[in-house]
Amino acid sequence: EAGVTQFPSHSVIEKGQTVTLRCDPISGHDNLYWYRRVMGKEIKFLLHFVKESKQDESGMPNNRFLAERTGGTYSTLKVQPAELEDSGVYFCASSQLAGTEYQETQYFGPGTRLLVL
């Protein structure tokens, strides 16, 4: 079974440009999460989808970030316009819809390394 995949693996763009990151979760996983780690900092939660609905977007830094999950399958995270401080590694994770809140294992993708110059 394929794991969580992310595309591209690396992206180098200039400040002010737009970048779109894609995440394909494990098939059948209703929960999809975006996290990121900026240079020297800890991995931080960005948002959570349940199927196509945004369940929690409390971690989104500002309105330059737009996440979508049309059809409840893959998700995209667009940064427009990109700023220098957006550089970092963006991780996607997915999990099955658990009956209880606990013991939900999140499966992470390899991440997209974004560098804004």
List residues binding another protein (CB under 8 A). 4, 31, 33, 35, 42-45, 48, 55-56, 58-59, 91-93, 95, 101-111
Q: How far apart are CA 18 and CA 82, in angstroms?
A: 6
Q: Which is nearer to another protein, 27 or 58 (CB)?
A: 58
Closest approach of another protein to the CB of residue 53, in Å = 13
- Pick 20 or 107: Cβ nearer another protein: 107
- Residue 17 or 113: the one with the smaller Cβ distance to another protein is 113
Amino acid at 70: T
Q: What are phi and psi of 84, to 5 degrees?
A: -55, -40
Residue type, 27: S
User: Per the structure block, which two tokens stand in for 92?
Assistant: 């996607």
CB of 91 vs another protein, minimal distance in Å: 5
What the block records as the tokens of 11 is 């992206």
At 74, list the tokens: 């893959």
> Distance between CA atoms of 86 and 39, rounded to whole angstroms?
9
Nearer to another protein, 82 or 90 (CB): 90
Beta carbon of residue 71, minimum distance to another protein (angstroms, whole number)? 21
Minimum distance between the CB of residue 99 and another protein, rounded to whole angstroms?
13
The residue written with tokens 């894609």 in the block is: 22
